Amino acid sequence: MTAKLSISVPDDVADWLGEQPNASAAVAAAVRAQMSAARTDEVLRRAGIVVTEDGKARWRERLARPMPAEVLDEGRRLLEGMA
């Protein structure tokens, strides 16, 4: 089931959506990502872990940096061991 909505977005968002082959799918993916983040925050909160906006910003910065090759290699080894 789907619902048709009419929304207002800033010009830069409208421009980006206009470039997408399926604007509805792009909006749905973005909203689902935000829903997932909210669920993660709720699970952490219930476990007694409060994630602040400052903490989120630090993780975003950390994850934006390239991972060292040895970290990626170790991650691949761990995943292979789980298969």
Q: What does the pLDDT look like over 18-44, one tens digit per residue?
A: 999 999 999 999 999 999 999 998 999
Cα 66 from Cα 43, distance rounded (Å): 28
Let me know: does 23 contact 17? Beta carbons within 8 Å: yes
Question: Quick one: pLDDT at residue 60?
Answer: 86
Indicate the DSSP class of residue 1: -
Tokens of 30: 């973005």
Q: In this predicted model, what pLDDT tens digit does every residue of 61-79 receive, in sequence order?
A: 888 888 888 888 998 998 8
**pTM (two decimals):** 0.62
What Cα–Cα distance (Å) separates residue 33 from each residue in 22, 27, 50, 71, 82? 17, 10, 20, 25, 26
